[in-house]
Structure 1
Amino acid sequence: MALEQPGPWGRDAATQSHLPADLGSALAEACSSRGGRLSLIRRPGRHPDDSHDPAPAGHTAYLAWAGEQPWLLTGRVADPAVLLDVDLDALARGDRDAVTRSLPGMAPCPPVLLVCTNGRRDVCCAVRGRPVALDAAAEAPGRVWEASHTGGHRFAPTGVLLPHGATLARLDATLAGEVLAAAGHGALPLGLLGPAHDRGRSALAPGAQAAESHVRHLVSEVSLTAFTVTELARVSAPPAGTPAGTPADTASDTPLDTPDGTPPGAVGTVGSTFEVVHEDGRSWVVQCERLLLAGELPESCGKHPVHVSVWDTRVAS
């Protein structure tokens, strides 16, 4: 669920914006309890704190499902509280008709790109993301939005492509335009495959994201719906006392968190084995290990350094 909310946002945008805090909290909880997410969005540009009143035409809202056959609905709502009436259980299972019945007026629309710009002085998001959103929106009006925090901020500028849930890193305005052009065909641009930009599809668990991204890059498959990923086995565990890492940020044969691309002394691993099946029948068994690194990096802008993790992926067969 993405909801337009003009004006400034705090670090927790759902409860620190001109959206009533209790409503933002309720919507965020309703989404997260079903495996989804609430994002606040706004049109690229300046966001003066000069009014608590919504735009005369109301708020744009998007409802996206990122399953096997992704779809995206949009509409305008005069009062964001009506989103509490959305059948989120239907959204979670991909039942578009039931979702539409719960909120009449929502209609299918082309893919949109959400670029993280949360924070006034946030180097990762506001400083790097806002120019990307502004320039990309000039080329694709109405299809690029500034968005609240999406995660993985050390890979900024970051974005999320709806409805597919493709999470993207190190964007610029040119790449953003290519993303939207390819998304119309249900694809990613060939140049965005691989660990530098492709952080996986959010509908999958982190390890599965890493496995699919690895195979996608390996065979140069741009279709966002070409693969099915199944976990075959859970392998290994971190040593006792190992600090917890952050969720995976990249699929890579060599983790990207160090300048030379080499792991700076992993302190433990946890991982899984996945089968990645292409729609044409080809399949790959991919081993994914989450390396918990000995060094520390800021989890995101403004936060204290923490132990972080990266994915190491390899095709076993």
Structure 2
Amino acid sequence: MSLCATASLQLSEPLAGTAATARTWLLLEQPGPWGANALTSSHLDPAVGRALEEAAAGTGVRIALIRRPGRHADCHTPATQRVIVAHTAPGRSWIRTAAVPDPAVLTALDFPALGAGEHGGLGDAYQGDPLVFVCTNGKRDRCCALLGRPLAAELAAAGGVEAWEITHIGGHRFSPTLFVLPYGYAYGRVGAHEVKEVLEAARDGRVVTADCRGRSAWERPAQAAELAVRELTGEDGADALDVPRTEGAAPHWSVTVAHADGRAWRVAVEQGAAEPPRPESCGRAPGVPARMDVVSVTPLS
């Protein structure tokens, strides 16, 4: 059986506008094995996992499990588990970290506030290097294990990189796929060298657009529109661009992209079909996934 990532690459499926949508990420350290739905099929108490899923639904917060790269024996839960919470909106991004003895305490968080960018003093402010999270959950898709785990291990072995494995960020067929905090840009089909360039840029407050899937703070049409403006203008400042308005509905959108210096663009985005059919995930029947096609970029006076 061929890999879904191989088919996507051979068909040159575009990456722009394919990032998972999450204004805020809540990432919980959970060593040991993960199942396909990791929040309810790992060493995390399934009742806690279900409660977290319910609490986060519709709030703009996306929850995932993380662990350090390496071998994952069927180990017991540690005495404390690290929690990373990050908001990804331009100009308002932040990262908070905490160590919790029982993940059940997270169910009491104000998820609507977190989704809106209000951390309420949760944990401590993170001041370290950018964080990279590589999707490695082979129980969800084997491409993530076959392509993601070697990348995560290589990044960790190289040192100087704050690397984690993560359960699910969507887009298995773009493996190895990852995202970087604090800005929340996702990438696909990358190697260790490209990831290090992405992290170096993030340290300087910049964005690398090559192999970029989009910024998770926005829905897919806005992700594609913002990347198109970056390609047009050469702007690489992470917080230089914002998306104040998206109008329309599938398959046609009009997206306004605004620059911090006052410039703005109207970007026409259309939803197309990625032909010919290909598996969106390993083991699934071939389908035609939606793609975000930028039709025009018009400067606004």
Contact 1:128 1:156 in 2 (8 A): yes
Alignment pair present for 1:217 and 2:231? yes
Name the SS of the counterpart of 2:85 in structure 1.
Answer: strand
Residue in structure 1 matching 2:84, options 31, 41, 62: 62
Measure, in 1, the Cα distance between the counterparts of 2:161 and 2:99: 13
More displaced 10-residue stretch of structure 1: 213-222 or 298-307: 298-307
The match for 1:30 among 55, 59, 65 is 55
Q: TM-score, normalised by structure 2?
A: 0.83
Contact 1:59/1:78, CA 8 A, preserved across alignment: yes
Q: How far off its partner does 1:124 sit?
A: 1.8
| AA in 2 matched with 1:224 | A
Instruction: Please show how residues 259-270 of structure 1 align to structure 2 within 5 Å.
Output: 270=251
SS in 2 for 1:37: strand
Contact 2:156 2:162 in 1 (8 A): yes
CA distance in 2, matches of 1:45, 1:120: 16
Shift, 1:154, TM fit: 1.0
Cα distance per residue 1:193-226 (max 9 Å; x no partner):
14xx111111111111110011112222222211
1:182 positional shift: 1.8
Distance 2:197 2:274 in 1: 34
With over 3 angstroms needed to count, the CA separation of the structure-2 counterparts of 1:120 and 1:48, relative to structure 1, is farther
Q: Cα distance, 1:174 vs. partner?
A: 1.4
The amino acid that maps onto 1:109 is: Q
Determine whether 1:9 maps to 2:34.
yes
Letter in 1 for 2:264: S
Q: Give the unaligned 5+ runs of structure 1.
A: 238-269
Q: Which residue of 1 aligns with 2:278?
A: 297
| Matched residue, 1:277 | 258
In the other structure, the counterpart of 1:241 is none
Determine the C-alpha separation between the residues in 1 that align with 2:274 and 2:114: 37
Show CA shifts across 1:141-169 (max 9, x none): 57110001111111110001123221111
Alignment of 1:1-317 (within 5 A): 1-49=26-74, 51=75, 53-56=76-79, 58-68=80-90, 69-96=92-119, 98=120, 100=121, 103=122, 105-110=123-128, 111-119=130-138, 122-140=141-159, 143-189=162-208, 193-194=209-210, 197-231=211-245, 233-234=247-248, 270-293=251-274, 295-317=276-298
Using the TM superposition, give the Cα deviation of residue 138 of structure 1 relative to its aligned residue in structure 2, in angstroms.
2.4
* Alignment coverage as a number of residue pairs: 271
Letter in 1 for 2:126: P
Give the superposed CA RMSD.
2.0
Contact 1:121–1:127 (Cα < 8 Å) also in 2? no
SS at match of 1:145: strand
Residues 30-39 or 8-17, more deviating: 30-39
The more displaced of 135-144 and 204-213 is: 135-144
Q: CA deviation at 1:22?
A: 1.3
Structure 2 CA distance, aligned partners of 1:30 and 1:179? 33
Q: Tell me the percent identity.
A: 42
C-alpha distance in 1 between matches for 2:124 and 2:174: 33
How far apart, CA to CA, are the structure 1 residues paired with 2:100 and 2:69?
Answer: 20
Cα shift at 1:48: 1.5
Separation of aligned partners in 2, 1:75 and 1:152: 29
**Which deviates more from structure 2 when the two are superposed, residues 107-116 or residues 33-42?**
107-116
1:163 and 1:27, CA in 2 relative to 1: closer, same or farther beyond 3 A? farther
* CA distance 1:19–1:84, shift in 2 (3 Å): same
SS at match of 1:216: helix
3-state SS of the aligned residue for 1:137?
helix
SS at match of 1:295: coil
- Tell me the SS of whatever aligns to 1:298: coil
Letter in 2 for 1:208: A
Q: Distance in 2 between matches of 1:208 and 1:309?
A: 15
Alpha-carbon deviation of 1:140? 4.0
Note closer, same or farther for the CA distance 1:124–1:29 as it changes in structure 2 (3 Å cut). same
Letter in 1 for 2:89: G
* CA distance in 1 between partners of 2:139 and 2:50 (Å): 22
Partners of 1:23 and 1:81 within 8 A in 2: yes
Post-superposition shift, 1:307? 2.5
Give the superposition deviation at 1:228: 1.7
* Compared CA separation, residues 140 and 188, structure 1 to 2 (3 A): farther
